[in-house]
Amino acid sequence: MPVTTHLKSLQALEMALRRGSLKAAAEGLGISPAAVGQRIRALEDYLGTDLLVRGRSGLQPTAALEQAVADLRAGFAALDRVTETLDFQRIAEIHVVADTDWAALWLAPRLPAFRERNPNVLFCINGEGDVPLRLGAPDLRVEYGNADSGPAELLFTDLLVPVTGPDNLRRLGDWDRESVLEGLPLLHLVAQQEDPLRPGWPDWIAAHGDRREGAGRGVHYRQAAIAMEAVRQNVGFLVCGMALAQHDLEAGRVVMPFAPARAIPAPCPYRMQISAAAARRPQLRAFAEWLGAEARRTRDWLAAQAGAGT
Partner residues linked to 108 by β-bridges:
none
pLDDT higher than threshold 90 for residue 34:
no
Residue of 273, 264, 287 whose CA lies nearest to 157? 264
Q: How confident is the model at residue 86 (pLDDT cuts 50, 70, 90)?
A: low
- C-alpha–C-alpha distance, residues 47 and 35, integer Å: 19
Q: How confident is the model at residue 198 (pLDDT cuts 50, 70, 90)?
A: very high
- C-alpha–C-alpha distance, residues 99 and 270, integer Å: 9
Torsion sign across C-alpha atoms 189, 191, 195, 199: negative
- C-alpha–C-alpha distance, residues 192 and 205, integer Å: 14
* pLDDT, greater one: 124 or 68: 124
Exposure string of 69-97, with b = 16+ CB inside 10 Å and e = fewer, is eeebeebbeebeeebbeebeebeebbbbb
135 φ/ψ angles, rounded to the nearest 5 degrees: -75, 155
Question: Using one digit for the tens of pLDDT, what is the confidence trace for 95-150?
Answer: 999 999 999 999 999 999 999 999 989 999 999 999 888 777 899 999 998 656 56
Domains in the chain: ranges and CATH: 3-67 (1.10.10.10), 86-151+271-305 (3.40.190.10), 159-265 (3.40.190.10)
* pLDDT, greater one: 3 or 46: 46
User: 298-301: long-range contacts at Cβ-Cβ below 8 A with a sequence spacing of 24 or more?
Assistant: 298/106, 298/155, 298/156, 298/243, 298/246, 299/156, 301/243, 301/246
pLDDT higher than threshold 70 for residue 89:
no
pLDDT for residue 1: 45
Query: Per-residue pLDDT averaged across 5-32, rounded?
Result: 80
Question: Using one digit for the tens of pLDDT, what is the confidence trace for 166-182?
Answer: 999 998 877 767 888 99
Which of 46-50, 141-145, 206-210, 245-249 reaches the highest mean pLDDT?
A: 245-249
Question: Using one digit for the tens of pLDDT, what is the confidence trace for 47-57?
Answer: 788 888 888 77
- C-alpha–C-alpha distance, residues 164 and 229, integer Å: 10
Q: How confident is the model at residue 310 (pLDDT cuts 50, 70, 90)?
A: very low
123 φ/ψ angles, rounded to the nearest 5 degrees: -115, 145
pLDDT for residue 101: 96
83 φ/ψ angles, rounded to the nearest 5 degrees: -60, -45
pLDDT higher than threshold 80 for residue 2:
no
pLDDT higher than threshold 60 for residue 299:
yes
DSSP structural state of residue 182: T
pLDDT for residue 288: 96
